[in-house]
Structure 1
Amino acid sequence: MKTSFDVKIWAIQEHQGKDRKTGKPRSTYRVRWVVAGHVFGESFKTRALAESQWAKLLTAQRQGVAFDEASGLPEPMARERNSRSWYDHAIAFVDMKWPRAAAKQRMSIAEALANVTPALLKTERGVPTETAIRRALYGYSFNKARRDASPPPDDLAPAVRWLAVNTVSLNDLQDAAVVRKALDALSLRLDGKQAAATTIARKRAVFYGALRYAVELRLLPAHPMANVQWITPKSDDEVDRRSVVNPGQALHLLAVVAERHPRLVAFFALLYYAALRPAEALHLRIEDCELPEEGWGMLRLSGSTQHVGEGWGDDSKAVREDRELKHRAKTAVRPVPAPPPLVRALRWHIAANGNTSEGRLFVTQGYGHGPVSKETYSRVWRAARRHGLTTAQQRTPLAKRPYDLRHAAVSLWLNEGVPATQVAEWAGHSVHVLLKVYAKCIEGQDEAARRRIEAALNRANDQAA
């Protein structure tokens, strides 16, 4: 919106004529004004209406309000007249984010917007069911690829049409009560219970970004959430110490996998010995590995293979997507040392199973040779826990997910005194996040610190004596 303060307002002009239908004499009253050299005008049937509009324009001019050069109206009036609906803006926000977002981020944006939109309806008349609204929003409206490909399917079309005309305008979001209602909605799960703190924070960030985009487009004068005192629940990002296996437990679980599903033992070994994320292990190729016959090797990670739903990636048919390393540039490479047990596991895996023409190490058996699915390695790990842990241990969070092997690796490195900066580099974290996430898993270092302090004090006492 291009604005100007160069405004001149003329007196109301009366135009006499005849009514086209009755032929009787009739007067109209025209308000005229100039913005940045462009003349604007608006006609009214009565003088009272014309005087009301004329007074609004004059008041805005005297108060120093900028006028929109396109419509000729004061900025607040132009924004209100041109305000788009929340539904239209949410779609515009999705389309703006889509080209640069990873598939999982696209899903996350769609989920958050689908969660908050039902709280931003302007009427309950004829409203579809909650299930229909969510399917229409998440399954079609907030998926750019599906919208671009075809009209909404017959089962979603009624809900899509209803939503297109029945959400509040962006101007309504300047009301703090409306924003608070939306925030309360995104803090709940589908079953009505409170969502996890990390989920609430993620969805709030999407909603905040959508409103910030409206400010960027000058569809809103300021961010509506700035005046809402709504506190996001504190998130506990720290790793649960109970989920971390010790070296003996880890070796036992890997032995169970080796016995029952040998094709995946090296996959889980990468998570435990090198602290790889599962997506990084799936992306690993033979050319990324330096595996000597003896001693330590080296892995040079260059990307990750994400599991995504069909229709969210750049290839609408694919359910997996190769991406750059997490929080890294597309060309970034992260070196990670491979201890001798991991080197042996990888050398055995390559000798026994080989690799694909693309160099991938962990692929499905049979036709296609795509990366191992999340469902497959998760099922194998559940079976390993079932056969490798006691009944009491299975009831605890101990190694409940494959990702917990990565937590165990990072915890081991920290507890053995590897500097946090080095651990952060190997694990692909910042030092701040590393210490925050693994704070509860660092053990035994307080006693060593006391001994170092005590030794320093004793030296000082000896020097003084």
Structure 2
Amino acid sequence: MVADLAGEFGAELVRAIRAGLAQGASPGHGPRGPSKLTWYAFATEYARAHWPGRAAKTRDEVSDALTAIILAMCWDIPGKPKEQLLRRALRHWAFVVPGPGHQEMPAEDRLVLQWVGKASRPLVDLHDPNLARDVLESLRRKLDGGEAAMETMRHKRKVLVHALHYAVEWGELGSHPLQKIRWRVPKPAVAADPRVVANPYQARDLLRAVSYVGSYRRARGRRLVGFFAGMYYAGLRPEEAVAVALPDCRLPRTGWGRLIVHRTLPQAGKRWTDTGQYHDERGLKNRPPGETRVVPLPPQLVALWREHVTTFGTADDGRLFFSERGGIISYTTYHRVWHETRDLALPPALTNTPLAKRPYDLRHSALSTWLCAGADPAEVAQRAGNSVEVLLSRHAKCLYDRQSINNQRIEGLLSDYDRPPEPAE
């Protein structure tokens, strides 16, 4: 109760200061008394405290959010660097715990962070509702001034809320400054766009066209046919397909095979991983460490993967899909190949549509195909690594042009009843 009252009195004091009714008051007293901590000093401590054990992509998202917030929490004092320099210094150094291969901070970035340290407003200033709302509104904006994606806003707001809870626990704030601020992120569309879902004919043409990307000798496309096929025929996520290794596969000469999925290799960047590599080795998404998932492989995929191993072999660690030098396939590499593939496989009328625009859309197509085939949703969810609720709300979409097939069936049934009944004998 005392802590909550302190937070409320802090906001009142801020308003009093603005009106000239108080001098030198410090709002937002925590249990240890008036806090003099700046937002920048607090944010760097928060980032370091929440670094160990976190996924590399989570660290990246936290840094991105804290950078956006600090830019809204700085006074406009002389010597302000350009925003591009500010963002670079904050993203690359302020909220990063140095790992293997990290170089020494450049002098220019060190000067930028010194300015941030001087310009940063006190943490307790967030008890001013006007400032708190300004900070929240800053989460809506991209670098170019446009509106950020709803998912991006949601992630940034989540970091801010969690950081302020930490400040309360740490004794720097008496209460959470955002409790009385009515500000919400618009809810994103949960369901996948049905326009992105390819039917089996289109998926087959797309997978066939992948092999024609790049020269035959360099095999830029041929190396990735099985990679994309794993996303379509087995419903794998890209970070799961990248990590597929031969010891985890059963690839018989005929019939169905099997894959045991137990690790992912999401790409995050050297700065965010403990190893200093571009990819972070993690377990299954939203699953406890060590959990596995068994995915049946249809004969079409088994044949493609057997042919791939025969042609290219495996990487040193058994991975099926790797670069010419044996490295992990990068996000940029497979996206470029897929972009060229669509131009080769799709008719001009469809190349400018969302149909299979991203490699991930192959997974949407896979799950929609399984559901349209009448497969048990519980089994489909298990294979995909989703809950049944997520599956039905996000992936239960009709295949491209599936309506035409159903329309033909309905029209045929109605036409049968349009004919006069045959006379009874």
TM-score scaled to structure 1, two decimals? 0.75
Does the aligned pair in 2 maintain the 1:274–1:409 contact within 8 Å?
yes
1:308/1:330 CA distance change after superposition, 3 Å = same
**Equivalent position of 1:382 in the other structure:** 339
Does the aligned pair in 2 maintain the 1:297–1:338 contact within 8 Å?
yes
Residues 137-156 of structure 1 mapped to structure 2, 5 A cutoff: 137-145=90-98, 152-156=105-109
**Equivalent position of 2:7 in the other structure:** none
1:205/1:298 CA distance change after superposition, 3 Å = same
Q: Deviations over 1:417-446 (max 9, x none)?
A: 2222221111111222222222544877xx
Distance (whole Å) between structure 2 residues aligned to residue 214 and residue 130 of structure 1: 27
1:438/1:162 CA distance change after superposition, 3 Å = same
Residues 55-94 of structure 1 mapped to structure 2, 5 A cutoff: 76=29, 79-94=32-47
Task: Check if 1:115 corresponds to 2:68.
Answer: yes
Amino acid at match of 1:438: H
Moved more, 426-435 or 287-296: 426-435
**Equivalent position of 2:249 in the other structure:** 289
Distance (whole Å) between structure 2 residues aligned to residue 97 and residue 236 of structure 1: 30
One of 272, 275, 289 as aligned partner of 2:235: 275
Q: Deviations over 1:151-199 (max 9, x none)?
A: 6311211210011122121211122211111100011111111111111
What is the number of residues matched between the two proteins? 370
Amino acid at match of 1:209: H
Shift of 1:335: 0.6
Distance (whole Å) between structure 1 residues aligned to residue 377 and residue 169 of structure 2: 39
**Equivalent position of 2:211 in the other structure:** 258
SS in 2 for 1:299: strand
Amino acid at match of 1:81: P
Distance (whole Å) between structure 2 residues aligned to residue 439 and residue 223 of structure 1: 40
1:147/1:380 CA distance change after superposition, 3 Å = closer
Q: Which of the pair is proportionally richer in strand?
A: 1
Distance (whole Å) between structure 2 residues aligned to residue 84 and residue 434 of structure 1: 45
Distance (whole Å) between structure 2 residues aligned to residue 170 and residue 150 of structure 1: 30
Shift of 1:244: 0.7
SS in 2 for 1:231: coil
Does the aligned pair in 1 maintain the 2:233–2:297 contact within 8 Å?
yes
Distance (whole Å) between structure 2 residues aligned to residue 109 and residue 276 of structure 1: 27
Distance (whole Å) between structure 1 residues aligned to residue 396 and residue 322 of structure 2: 35
1:255/1:80 CA distance change after superposition, 3 Å = same
1:107/1:422 CA distance change after superposition, 3 Å = same
Does the aligned pair in 2 maintain the 1:88–1:164 contact within 8 Å?
yes
Higher relative contact order (CA 8 A, sep 6+): 2
One of 181, 184, 188 as aligned partner of 1:231: 184
One of 200, 205, 222 as aligned partner of 1:247: 200
Amino acid at match of 1:223: H
Task: Check if 1:427 corresponds to 2:387.
Answer: no
Does the aligned pair in 1 maintain the 2:263–2:282 contact within 8 Å?
yes
Residues 444-455 of structure 1 mapped to structure 2, 5 A cutoff: none
Amino acid at match of 2:147: Q
% same residue: 39
1:78/1:151 CA distance change after superposition, 3 Å = farther
One of 320, 323, 341 as aligned partner of 2:300: 341
Q: Deviations over 1:387-421 (max 9, x none)?
A: 11111211001111111111100111122222222
Amino acid at match of 1:175: D
Distance (whole Å) between structure 1 residues aligned to residue 289 and residue 149 of structure 2: 31
Q: Deviations over 1:190-221 (max 9, x none)?
A: 11111111111111111111111111212112
Task: Check if 1:412 corresponds to 2:372.
Answer: no
Q: Deviations over 1:66-96 (max 9, x none)?
A: xxxxxxxxx9376453441110111111111
Q: Deviations over 1:323-352 (max 9, x none)?
A: 111111221111111011011111111111
Larger radius of gyration: 1
Distance (whole Å) between structure 1 residues aligned to residue 294 and residue 168 of structure 2: 42
1:249/1:217 CA distance change after superposition, 3 Å = same
Shift of 1:133: 1.5
Residues 144-183 of structure 1 mapped to structure 2, 5 A cutoff: 144-145=97-98, 152-183=105-136
Does the aligned pair in 2 maintain the 1:290–1:299 contact within 8 Å?
yes
Q: Give the alignment's Cα RMSD to 1 decimal.
A: 2.2
Distance (whole Å) between structure 2 residues aligned to residue 169 and residue 416 of structure 1: 59
Amino acid at match of 1:311: R
Distance (whole Å) between structure 2 residues aligned to residue 232 and residue 115 of structure 1: 16
